Amino acid sequence: MGVIGIGTMVSIINFDRFLMGFTLASHILIVTMSIGFSILISLAEFLAIRWKDPYYEAMARRFTKAFVIFFAVGTASGTVLAVELFALWPSFMVIVGKVDILPFYYEVFAFLLESISLVLYFYYWDFFENRYKHWALSLLVAVGTVMSAVFITLINAWMNTPSGFNIPYYLKTGNLININPIAAVLTPSGFYEDAHVVTATIAAGVFLIGTYLAYSFIKAKTEDGRILYRKGLNIVAIVGLISIALAGISGSVADSLLITLQPLKYAAIELNLNSSTSAAEIIGGVYSSGKILYDISIPNLQSLLAFPLTFGKGTVPGLDQYPQSLWPPLFIHLTFDTMVGGGFLVGLFALYLAWRLLRKKSITTTLPIYGMIISGPLLALVYDSGWVTDEVGRQPWIIYNVMTVQSAANTSPSIIPLGIAIIVFYFLVVPFCFYFAYRILKNDAVETELERARRSKWFKR
């Protein structure tokens, strides 16, 4: 503290926060696309082989080109995050290194599975005599991609519900004893967080790709183009419905679990000023001088959603049970509402698409097409809102009830100029990534790719 003043240190800590948050927000946009693509590619190629349909083949090839771009930039940006974690939060990473490094380590192997499989899948597409073997590689890519998300989310779950060491002893002495790395991996909130994050990521990625497909359908100048994009939209509608339904269910369960695992976060995101046995669902609203203003209140709904098995019988926690100094910023109630409301709207839209498909009606008419164009960006907003809710809701802790963000941060002033450079750089790289992927897809005419697919040995049989 002798070298830099307290005020400067706090500013640097806030800068660390911002830099990490900014990098994460940029990274998850790319990652959602990667995960969405990995699943759609595998499905498209399977349908291409099964039905000997060159449109699905062309679609799988097109998606793979874009996927490789997102993978390349995503890999780099993931590495930036990994290094930022120990560069910005060294004390935090010391504990992680001693107690919960295993999910990171498992993730590396998932990452290797994804990258090596992708190299073989993309660069040696025509090498395989048996196309099912090639398709199996797409499965490995998808498994690697999804498992990466699973393991990384486990780290976040551990930050929310730390386990695998003697916490009271650590708080008393600062020493780590009784370390059990497997218990840390199996953290109480792990399964529920994974279930929600993975399904929500798939939904966001798939709907963002749906936006591209819908836009391309409108712009398509040839019949072949329209057929290809329509088939793509059909897959998006089905995968999108399944993933967003699962995200909704798992999200509701995860929210209810906060009552026991992180009651303060629950109270903040629901904006409960007092604990209650018949809590109303508060939609919107801001906290001001001990009151909630501008909200819509639906009686008993919160209790019913929190305790569905007992028809609402139970007690939900309130902010009044905790000192105000420990409250997280209460704007997370609004980000939570954005997440739930936006997700619900897209879910309804996905149901509508499924209903049309069941009745063998086209989903390329005006309402579904424009709905799809809106759904992608909306779900990206929903996804980022969910992430902000989770992370800001844990403040002031970096490891819940164990370590504060302040005590974990790197307070070296040399971070600031280079951190700004990273931020500027991301402002260039992320739009470039989306633009470049779009240009690559736009550059290759659908007809050329269809012709290539039709010429392939597999489709001649």
Residues 41-70 contacting another protein, CB under 8 A: 61, 64-65, 68-69
Question: Minimal distance in Å, beta carbon 354 to another protein?
Answer: 33
Cα(234)–Cα(363) distance, integer angstroms: 7
Question: Minimal distance in Å, beta carbon 426 to another protein?
Answer: 8
Cβ proximity to another protein, 64 vs 302, nearer residue: 64
Cβ proximity to another protein, 151 vs 287, nearer residue: 151
Cβ proximity to another protein, 19 vs 203, nearer residue: 19
Q: Pick out residues in 299-358 that bind another protein (CB under 8 A).
A: none
Are the beta carbons of 276 and 315 closer than 8 angstroms?
A: yes
Cβ proximity to another protein, 109 vs 311, nearer residue: 109
Q: Pick out residues in 177-216 that bind another protein (CB under 8 A).
A: 179-182
Three-state DSSP string of 143-154: HHHHHHHHHHHH
When asked if residue 425 is in the footprint of another protein (CB under 8 A), the reply is yes
Q: Count residues contacting another protein (CB under 8 A)? A: 72
Q: Pick out residues in 434-453 that bind another protein (CB under 8 A).
A: 436, 439-440, 443-444, 452
Question: Minimal distance in Å, beta carbon 360 to another protein?
Answer: 34
Cβ proximity to another protein, 293 vs 445, nearer residue: 445
Question: Minimal distance in Å, beta carbon 285 to another protein?
Answer: 40
Cβ proximity to another protein, 176 vs 374, nearer residue: 176
Distance between alpha carbon 296 and the CA centroid of its chain, in Å? Answer: 29
Question: Minimal distance in Å, beta carbon 406 to another protein?
Answer: 16
When asked if residue 421 is in the footprint of another protein (CB under 8 A), the reply is yes
Interface mask toward another protein for 390-419; x: CB under 8 A: --------------------x-x-xx--xx
Three-state DSSP string of the chain: CCCCCHHHHHHHHHHHHHHHHHHHHHHHHHHHHHHHHHHHHHHHHHHHHHHCCHHHHHHHHHHHHHHHHHHHHHHHHHHHHHHHHHHHCHHHHHHHHHHCCHHHHHHHHHHHHHHHHHHHHHHCHHHCCCHHHHHHHHHHHHHHHHHHHHHHHHHHHHHHCCCCCCHHHHHHHCCCCCCCHHHHHCCCCHHHHHHHHHHHHHHHHHHHHHHHHHHHHHHCCCHHHHHHHHHHHHHHHHHHHHHHHHHHHHHHHHHHHHHHHCHHHHHHHHCCCCCECCCCEEEEEEEECCEEEEEEEECCHHHHHHCHHHCCCCCECCHHHCCHHHCCCCCHHHHHHHHHHHHHHHHHHHHHHHHHHHCCCCCCCHHHHHHHHHHHHHHHHHHHHHHHHHHHCCCCEEECCCEEHHHHCCCCCCHHHHHHHHHHHHHHHHHHHHHHHHHHHHHCCHHHHHHHHHHCHHHHC
Cβ proximity to another protein, 48 vs 433, nearer residue: 433
A 10 A CB-CB count for 172 gives 9
Question: Minimal distance in Å, beta carbon 419 to another protein?
Answer: 7
Question: Minimal distance in Å, beta carbon 83 to another protein?
Answer: 6
Q: Pick out residues in 238-277 that bind another protein (CB under 8 A).
A: none
When asked if residue 367 is in the footprint of another protein (CB under 8 A), the reply is no
When asked if residue 1 is in the footprint of another protein (CB under 8 A), the reply is no
Question: Which window, 120-128, 232-240, 283-291, 344-352, contacts another protein (CB under 8 A)?
Answer: 120-128
Question: Minimal distance in Å, beta carbon 63 to another protein?
Answer: 11
Are the beta carbons of 28 and 387 closer than 8 angstroms?
A: yes
Q: Pick out residues in 60-119 that bind another protein (CB under 8 A).
A: 61, 64-65, 68-69, 71-73, 75-80, 82-84, 86-88, 90-91, 93-94, 96-99, 101-102, 104-109, 111-113, 115-119
Question: Minimal distance in Å, beta carbon 204 to another protein?
Answer: 22
Indicate which single residue of 311, 344, 427, 432 sits in contact with another protein (rule: CB under 8 A).
432
Indicate which single residue of 422, 446, 450, 453 sits in contact with another protein (rule: CB under 8 A).
422
Question: Minimal distance in Å, beta carbon 303 to another protein?
Answer: 42
Q: Pick out residues in 124-183 that bind another protein (CB under 8 A).
A: 124, 127, 176, 179-182
Cα(399)–Cα(208) distance, integer angstroms: 32
Cα(372)–Cα(362) distance, integer angstroms: 13
When asked if residue 4 is in the footprint of another protein (CB under 8 A), the reply is no
